[in-house]
Structure 1
Amino acid sequence: MTGAAAIAGIGATAFTKDSGRSELALAAEAVRAALADAGLAPGDVDGLVTFTMDTSPEIAVARATGIGELAFFSRVHYGGGAACATVQQAALAVTAGVADVVVCYRAFNERSGRRFGAGVRGREPSAEGVALGWGLPFGLLTPASWAAMHARRYLHMYGLTTEVFGHVAVTDRRYAARNPAAYFHGRPLTLAEHAASRWIAEPLRLLDCCQETDGGQALVVTSLARARTLRRPPVVIAAAAQGAARGQEQMTGFYEGDLGGLPETGVVARRLWRDSGLRPADVDVAVLYDHFTPYVLMQLEEFGFCGPGEGGDLVASGTLPVNTHGGQLGEAYLHGMNGIAEGVRQVRGTSVNQVPGAGRVLVTAGSGVPTSGLILAADG
């Protein structure tokens, strides 16, 4: 699959806190925008991929957008961990000859509708619920509370303070302030403002936690050969991988040997480096899933950009551009799909925070859960 498929189009809705529209309407708008960006018509599409958590079925999106027959449809589990895997699924279908043009999409009213931060109480019994049951009785009811356990251990292991988390928030907001599509456009952040924000679950403050967003994002995947004939320069999928660690749990892996790292991210990192033939020094931009600031630091360390406990210093130094769209803390929380779109813009040279000469971009999906990642590259 390596280098045989490409992202040919990206499209999104506005990112808001109260869309006033159905999630299907958001999905359809994003899909139509991505097709227009690629210079394709709905009738060209024969495959769709989304998340298991998405409420808009593939056949409903096909009807709403004028897409005809479908030869391929697929869904990926584990929330934000699915983001890059949707592109992997699409690329696999294209390179296997199962489909010609596959659109990946995600749309939700996560602010005005179901809010992930509300927790998991009231779930029906399931295998996942049993795993969560080890932590729920002790008050670990929300993603922030689960992440806080890892964050506390990380700080303890390396003798750090919460200021290292602040560097991530400040960096994201600096980029978001220059991004007209970002919710926090024109609103940068200081370390002092980060430190003054209220506690959510110690050691995580409000500004360590990603936004809740209403919106949609879509991406068009096709063969590299076909992408070369379309409207935009193709963005090559140089490598794509999924990863789950040994004994993996979903955001509740408190029984791992090392709570200061992300073993599932390590699985993805090893596969991406192996399949692409690249190394950290070859990456021009990193778009890292930032549902919570500590996980950005841990991802940098798992991918080998720096040593254990050194992620905060790396972000503060600015030597590696990170989340140039503003991330999910600054632009929007679209389960990581907007991060893939930023990777595409950087390779195309069209980002509002363009890194000169960016030809290779690492994009990651949600961590703390089974996850995925991509390396995107310029054609040729």
Structure 2
Amino acid sequence: MIGFRGATAVVGIGTTEYYKRGTSPLSSAQLVLQAILRACEDAGADPRKVDGFVSYGDDANAGLGVAAALGVHEVRWSTQIWGGGGGGIAAAVNAAAAAVYSGQAECVAVYRALNEADDGRRAFSKGHLGSLYTAHGILTPPQVCALRTQRLLEVDGVPASTMEAIALAGYRHAQNNPDAVAYGKPIDHEVYQGCRPISEPLRLYDCSRENDGAAAVLVVSSDRVGDYKTTPAVILAGVQGAAAGWTESVENEQNYTSAGFHPALVQRLWNGAGVGPDDVDVTQVYENFTGPAVAAMIDHGLCPPGPAAGEILTVDNLTLPGGKLPINTSGGNIAEGFVHGIGLVLEAVRQIRGDSANPVPRADVSLLIGGPMAPLVSSTIFGSPATV
């Protein structure tokens, strides 16, 4: 979209704590409201002036209901991204940016909430394990992703060490983040290798957590960032979609070991942002499981495919300080906490603002990768004000 680059920005972020699944004292709706109110407080914004609402993945909290509870003056934009898994996480940010850019709204809240007591078990994957799967004993998301990950290792030759590196990087970063569920609970190579298997080749620490909680960000026009008290994280580009041969999961995708980010989609992302993989300072990659995260980084050109991926995706290279390709700097879905990945959006913004628990010095380009191996995939690139 002509002129889209840098036209919008995130000016506020808010989150609840991460509760063990099914234990939140607040309802799902209350969690959303708390997160949005905290985002407004962060930005110095009047909650009643939020006029747009976007979520994803069958969030039970409709925008109109959230707006009524907040007492907003007018709802001008309310939508939800289709597609299961976390593929809609960046797409939700992109939809908010499109609404603001096109004049459909002025201040859009992007949010996601989960409360197992309200939403049920594995609400984030409802509707995506149909009869094709269940008839063959495939009942859970890790089984689907394990099949693809095993092919990634056996046929593509990607070393299993890359998966361990993703997991350990998240845990290392979580040790500096007091809000992370894994804070004070480090793991190492021996612990990772010794943990119980979940679905071969995925082990316990290859799998994301499940938590109750919520988080939200506020998207506004870059022309109005001076009205807010935070450093803006400018939205440079965003993409979403699926190529032919990759839509609803039916296990006959043409590029079976891909994370679903086809070359044309990725190239649009880089072209739209005016940067390339080598310009990325920090990445938040949705790791529902470590195998899909590895595939997503390959798809985005952050590392080569095949055996050479193991030379780039090492624990030291993915971890701060010193790593040249730092990822999931709050701990990610695996070690910080999992509310369908919305926490990754906040951390991508924190890196631009400089208030991450593990800040990348002078970070100008922050990449968010959403929902690898999901039917719908999406990515967003945030930039510092200096990038525009």
Fold match, TM over 0.5?
yes
Partner of 1:140: 138
Instruction: Give me the whole-angstrom Cα distance separating, in 2, the residues matched to 1:206 and 1:177.
Output: 19
Contact 1:111 1:212 in 2 (8 A): no
1:256 CA displacement: 2.0
Shift of 1:63: 2.0
Q: What is the CA–CA distance in structure 1 between the aligned matches of 2:115 and 2:99, rounded to whole Å?
A: 29
Question: Is the Cα contact below 8 Å between 2:245 and 2:254 reproduced in 1?
Answer: no
**Partners of 1:265 and 1:106 in 2: how far apart?**
26
Q: How does 1:18-167 map to 2 (within 5 A)?
A: 18-79=23-84, 80-110=86-116, 114-116=120-122, 132-159=130-157, 162-167=160-165
In the TM superposition, residue 117 of structure 1 has moved relative to its aligned partner by: 8.6
State the match for 2:320 in structure 1.
none
Specify the SS of the correspondent of 1:135.
helix
Out of 6, 15, 30, the position equivalent to 1:3 is: 6
Aligned partners of 2:116 and 2:123 also within 8 Å: no
Listed one character per residue, the Cα deviations across residues 238-274 of structure 1 (whole Å, up to 9, x for unaligned) are 0011121212233x35212332222335454222111
Partners of 1:112 and 1:152 lie apart in 2 by 34
1:263 aligns to what SS in structure 2? coil
More off after superposition, 52-61 vs 22-31? 52-61
AA of the residue aligned to 2:107: V
Q: Equivalent of 1:313, from 284, 306, 311?
A: 311
Letter in structure 2 aligned against 1:347? I
Mapping of 1:302-341 within 5 angstroms? 302-309=299-306, 310-316=308-314, 317-318=316-317, 319-341=324-346
Deviation at 1:225, TM superposition (A): 1.1
Question: TM-score normalized by structure 1?
Answer: 0.93
Tell me, yes or no, if structure 1 residue 297 matches structure 2 residue 302: no
Does structure 2 conserve the Cα–Cα contact (< 8 Å) formed by 1:15 and 1:214? yes
Matched, 1:12 2:18: no
Kept after mapping to 2: 8 A contact 1:117/1:144: no
Deviations 1:305-331 (A, max 9, x none): 121124443231412001101010011
Say which SS state the counterpart of residue 115 (structure 1) adopts. Answer: coil
Supply the distance in 2 between the matched residues of 1:156 and 1:182 (Cα, whole angstroms).
34
* Structure-2 change in CA distance of 1:149 and 1:261 (3 Å): same
SS at match of 1:81: coil
Deviation at 1:67, TM superposition (A): 1.9
1:354, distance to aligned residue in structure 2 (A): 0.4
Unmatched runs of 5 consecutive residues or more in structure 2: 318-323
User: For the Cα contact (< 8 Å) 2:143–2:199, is it kept in 1?
Assistant: yes
Tell me the distance in 2 between the aligned counterparts of 1:279 and 1:364.
14
Tell me the TM-score normalised to structure 2 length.
0.91
The answer (yes or no) to whether the contact 2:295–2:372 under 8 Å persists in 1 is: no
1:356 to 343, 361, 365: 361
- Whole-Å separation in 2 of the counterparts to 1:272 and 1:379: 19
User: 3-state DSSP class of the match of 2:326?
Assistant: coil
1:219 aligns to what SS in structure 2? Answer: strand
Report the Cα distance in structure 2 between the residues aligned to 1:118 and 1:301, rounded to whole angstroms. 25
Q: Deviation at 1:165? A: 1.3
CA separation of 1:343 and 1:168: change in aligned 2, threshold 3 A: same
The one-letter code sitting in structure 1 at the alignment partner of 2:259 is L
Let me know the Cα RMSD of the aligned residues.
1.9
Q: How many residues matched?
A: 371
Per the TM alignment, residue 92 of structure 1 is displaced from its structure 2 partner at its CA by 0.8
Note the residue ranges of structure 1 that are not aligned, 5 or more in a row.
Answer: none
Contact 1:111 1:213 in 2 (8 A): no
Matched position secondary structure for 1:339: helix
* Divergent runs of 4+, >3 A: 110-113, 117-120, 158-163, 263-268, 310-313
Tell me which residue corresponds to 2:255.
Answer: 258
Please say which of residues 219-228 and 257-266 is displaced more in the overlay: 257-266
